[in-house]
Homo-oligomer: A and B are copies of this chain.
Amino acid sequence: MSAVGPLFNPRSIALVGATDKSGWSLNTYNNLIEHSFGGPVYLVNPRSEIVHGVPAFASLSAIGAPVDLAYVMVPTAAVLAILEEGARLGIRNYVVLTAGFGETGPEGERLQESLTALAEREGLTILGPNGNGFINAAAGITPYGLPIPAPLLSGPVGVVLQSGALASAVLSFAQARNLGLSLLTAMGNEAMVSVTDVVDYLVDDPATKVIALFLESVRHPAEFAAVARKAWAAGKPIVAMKIGSSQLASQTARAHTGALVGDDDVVSAAFRQLGVVRVRSLEDLIITAGLLASVGSLPGRRLGVVTPSGGGSEIIADRADDEGLQIPAYAPETVRRLTEIMPKFGTVANPLDVTGYVVVDRTLLGRAMEIVADDPGIDIIVLLTELPRVRPPDPSIFVEAFGQTAKRIQAAGKPVVVVSNALTDITEFGREIAAASGFPYVAGGIEHGLTALGAAVRWSESHVSPEPETGPEALVEGETVGLWAEREAAALLTANGIPVVPSTFASDVDTAAAAADAYGYPVVLKAAAAGLGHKSDIGGVRLGLANEAEVRSAFVDVMDKTKADGVLVQPQRSGGVELLVGVVRDPSWGLTMAVALGGIWVEVLRDSALRLLPVDKAQALRALTELRGIDLLRGARGSETADLDVVADVVARVGQLAVGLGDRLESLEINPLLVRGSRVEALDALVTWRT
């Protein structure tokens, strides 16, 4: 990782390639001047003595004073020379706005590699190329190539984006939410400084409470995972919008499990295990980050809803239900106290509509909230109200009213989430009232506000996976190449503590018959041969053999059809619920486990739960309970109730085995894993190796 503290905190800045002809140059210069950068700004242009109305220098060398950061806008071909000159002058930090590098093809990639090589050789830190720069709002340092709308609000959210254009959209949207940022960075090509580096910095940055990410791809999953764990340990939520959900799932062959493991699903699984809140829109990114920065970790999911509107109450109830949040009845004492203050045409209930009487009594909403805050059955208060949009002749009425409510919110002793009806900007006047009255963050609009609240509650309840460790070495006999069919795979499972259906290998018909007799009927015969993965497709599986004669006949038949080395004889199981437990290697995130119910659940519904490995038993249990068909394991449709504890244990063992197999493993699949009450056993398995 790169240390980016000095990059984001320069005391002097040179704009290299500054020119009146470039909008980027003008924007960057204006931003530094208008947002009051405290140190010197040097404009560098070899051909103009005056740029943007001030004297320019012919070169970096001509400045003759220390430069902490060079912001480079020269043509692509000239960038390297500028960095070399800067390195000679001892300039350590660079933003490269110039495009034409890795994003354009092989030639650009080579140029970008030269850039990175130079930087590593000379100990330079480079943000970009092809990035708009950054805005350190906390320190008033704004080397950023697009216009920054005034006022620049400084605050608790650090934003990192793999998109320049969206950086500006996010900046405007955060301002419209009256939400201050600590740092905003448009990453560009990440030739050197990566998203992970910036997140790492923000985790340590005291001005940042929440980190918001816009990601096109996670370039360094292992580093990302490490820094996400660090953020979680520090209690700083990461909220991330990761695009690409519409891309086709990776088509890499990955046994049966592959179909369940789309790239986007793996990202979701990884984020969940790392405590990263995934959101689906720019609006949710900023509103959720703002809410988490405002209320922090939440103590539960029981909402007390206080509104001046029946319609608003019911929208909140619908949305809370979607998010799995609860709106319990108020305690009798709460109802008694609310009844005392409510107008007589109102009704006391949760959600509470104090009615349009708020037009007459501006304190009614706040007083109702104060009472609800005392209810021991409520974890979080949701208050529906709006900051004013338009300046009236006498604003003091608003300051007074919102100040009173703000005081009540501070005194509530519980998190209060304020939402407005719909998502409109907090206007300049709204910002003034909020500042003058101490009114908290308004999580704009019921729709996005409740999405944010649901996400914040889930983050507060999240459990982050332990950092992967080298687990116990798996016990393996045999050469780990190619494909291991059932016989070898079953031996591997058994050796590593995973229960497998009893099985006897028989290469002659008498051994087969004897084994069948010993198990009792009915039995199953399966063709067994090294590398034979799809035995049922070639007539290599015979079910329901009821007596010795059938076994003998089947043996001859199977051996004849499949030319196998022999057969596996197994007792035939009946009843129970079939699971599929598979592990595949995701190209980015590594070993990933899918748990699914068999039959239509997996084949038609693709009902599966994913986990990056390793998983412990508790996580395996959580994965199982995420399945839509989990009720089948709980005894729905007359099935025997499964001992989920035992199932989770076996699933976790499969994960441990996969981790223990390490780099050798390509995929491992148990299909089916049969569950009958507390009896869990693998009926078939397949392993593929990487070499």
Question: Is A425 part of the contact surface with B, judged by Cβ < 8 Å?
Answer: yes
Tell me if B149 and A389 are in contact (CB < 8 A).
Answer: yes
Q: Closest residue to A600 on the B side, CB-wise?
A: B637
Question: A150 vs B390: C-alpha distance in the bound complex, in angstroms?
Answer: 9
Known A-B contacts A172-B422, A281-B447, A282-B421; the reply to A310 vs B216 at CB < 8 A is yes
Question: A347 vs B422: C-alpha distance in the bound complex, in angstroms?
Answer: 38
Question: Is A445 part of the contact surface with B, judged by Cβ < 8 Å?
Answer: yes
Question: Is A146 part of the contact surface with B, judged by Cβ < 8 Å?
Answer: yes
Known A-B contacts A149-B389, A244-B314; the reply to A163 vs B309 at CB < 8 A is yes
Counting chain A residues whose Cβ lies within 8 A of the other chain, the interface size class is 35 or more
Known A-B contacts A314-B216, A317-B246, A345-B99; the reply to A281 vs B446 at CB < 8 A is yes
Tell me if A309 and B246 are in contact (CB < 8 A).
Answer: no
Q: Closest residue to A150 on the B side, CB-wise?
A: B390
Question: A23 vs B360: C-alpha distance in the bound complex, in angstroms?
Answer: 7
Question: Is A604 part of the contact surface with B, judged by Cβ < 8 Å?
Answer: yes
Question: Is A612 part of the contact surface with B, judged by Cβ < 8 Å?
Answer: no
Question: A321 vs B243: C-alpha distance in the bound complex, in angstroms?
Answer: 12
Tell me if A359 and B24 are in contact (CB < 8 A).
Answer: yes
Question: Is A311 part of the contact surface with B, judged by Cβ < 8 Å?
Answer: yes
Q: Closest residue to A637 on the B side, CB-wise?
A: B603
Question: Is A590 part of the contact surface with B, judged by Cβ < 8 Å?
Answer: no
Q: Closest residue to A597 on the B side, CB-wise?
A: B600
Question: Is A103 part of the contact surface with B, judged by Cβ < 8 Å?
Answer: yes
Question: Is A632 part of the contact surface with B, judged by Cβ < 8 Å?
Answer: yes
Question: A172 vs B389: C-alpha distance in the bound complex, in angstroms?
Answer: 9
Tell me if A243 and B311 are in contact (CB < 8 A).
Answer: yes
Question: Is A435 part of the contact surface with B, judged by Cβ < 8 Å?
Answer: no
Tell me if B166 and A311 are in contact (CB < 8 A).
Answer: yes
Q: Which of A22, A24, A360, A424 has the most CB of B within 10 A?
A: A424
Question: Is A170 part of the contact surface with B, judged by Cβ < 8 Å?
Answer: yes
Within 8 A of B (CB), among A1-58: 22-24
Additional 5 contacts, C-beta under 8 A, given A164-B356, A600-B629: A104-B345, A169-B312, A245-B321, A424-B425, A603-B637
Chain A residues within 8 Å of B, Cβ to Cβ: 22-24, 99-100, 103-104, 108, 146, 149-150, 161-166, 169-170, 172-173, 176, 214, 216, 243-246, 280-284, 286, 308-312, 314-315, 317-318, 320-322, 344-345, 355-356, 359-360, 386, 389-390, 420-425, 427, 445-447, 599-600, 603-605, 628-629, 631-632, 636-637
